[in-house]
Structures are given as structure tokens and as C-alpha cells.
Amino acid sequence: MPKPVAIILELAVCICVLWMISFFSTLFHELGHAAGYMLSTGGRRWHIRVGSGKKLHDTKSLTVKLLIVDGYFDPTEDRIDTKAKLIATLSGGPAASLVLVILLLILRFGGFTFDSEIIATETIEFFINYALIYNLFILITSIVPAHYFSGENKGTETDGLKILNTIRDRRISGSSD
């Protein structure tokens, strides 16, 4: 294979893998909200959006968009009627991201060795490092009490701010990002 073609192919594969890591990390965070919602309310009807921009996939429960810069969990049933249920729903996403961060830290620094003849060890470590940093970013930006600064959630409250406002008794209903 000519070298320019190999470089382009390797770059395309790298971009696809990075997109998939970003997608699954964001989806896992939003599924954490869904788990918190289902455990606290018993509700089973909800919708998750992952990403912004051009729609790639759309079903009753999941919308996937091209640019993975944010996500959104929306319960389609109005079952969140107490502060405890709202806090459980809101904290599910950060809890899921924290679990991923811990697992990635163990994988990265736990003394595991990667011996592969197909993929170089440095490449595997690069993707693990990216996943770790991406999930840390999701965790931190979701728990800091502020407003989101990009994507389709721009200007909306983070999970941390919604939890803080719920504790302060400013509201008892809402969906989570």
C-alpha cells in the first residue's frame, strides 16, 4: 500500500475510534441518568440525545448526532415528583462517568500490559488516555454548578447546578443533561 494512502487510512481509523469513544462515554453518562430515573421512579419511558448538529440516527429512545459535544436525558413520563427522585436522576450521569473514570484509571495505571501484534502498545495507551481525559471532562463539567458553554445545551444548567438548586428548593421538576 502506498504510504500516503496508509497515512490517510490510519488517520480515518483514528478519527472513527475517537468518535466512538466520545459517543460511548457520553451515552454511558446519559444512561446513568436513565438508571437513576428508573431506580427512583420506576419509569421506563425516556429519550436520550447524544451529540449536536446533523442527525445520524433517530429512534423512540435515542437520537445520535454528528458532533459529540454534549448529551441530554429527557424522561418522557412525568414521574419526578419529589426532590429525592430528581436528585437521583440528576446524579446518575455523574455517577456513571465516575465509574468509567475509575475503571480507566485502573486500566491505565494498574500495571496492565498490552501485547498486541496488530495494534502498537502506544496506540492502545493513547486511546485509553483519550477516554480517561474525555470522561474526566464529562464528569467535571457536569458536576460543577454552572451553565453549559457549548453544544445544544449551551446556557442550560449543569447537573451540579440543578442538584444545588433542588437542594435549595428552587424547583422539583426538570430533565438532566
First to last CA, the chain: 45
Per-residue pLDDT tens digits for 37-50:
999 999 999 999 99
Q: Which three cell numbers mark 135?
A: 470522561
Please give the average per-residue pLDDT across 162-171, as a whole number. Answer: 85
94 dihedral zone (left: phi>0; alpha: psi -120 to 50; beta) = alpha
Confidence band, pLDDT 50/70/90 cuts, at residue 176: low
- The parent domain of residue 151 ranges over 24-42+78-167
Confidence band, pLDDT 50/70/90 cuts, at residue 172: low
**Domain membership flag for residue 127:** yes
Task: Report the SS3 class of residue 68.
Answer: strand
Of 125, 131, 77, 126, give the one whose Cα is nearest residue 102.
131
Q: Is the per-residue pLDDT at 173 higher than 70?
A: no
**Domain membership flag for residue 67:** no
> At 130, which amino acid appears?
Y
Please report the pLDDT score of residue 111 as a whole number: 79
**Domain membership flag for residue 122:** yes
**Domain membership flag for residue 134:** yes
Per-residue pLDDT tens digits for 87-136:
999 999 999 999 999 999 999 998 777 777 777 888 889 999 999 999 99
Please report the pLDDT score of residue 117 as a whole number: 76
Per-residue pLDDT tens digits for 76-90:
999 999 999 999 999
Q: What is the total count of domains within the chain? A: 1
| Percent share of the chain, pLDDT over 90 | 84
**Domain membership flag for residue 85:** yes
Please report the pLDDT score of residue 114 as a whole number: 74
**Domain membership flag for residue 68:** no
Please give the average per-residue pLDDT across 52-81, as a whole number. Answer: 96
**Domain membership flag for residue 92:** yes
Q: What angle do CA 36, 93, 34 make, to 5 degrees?
A: 40
Query: Are the CB atoms for 104 and 131 separated by under 8 Å?
Result: yes
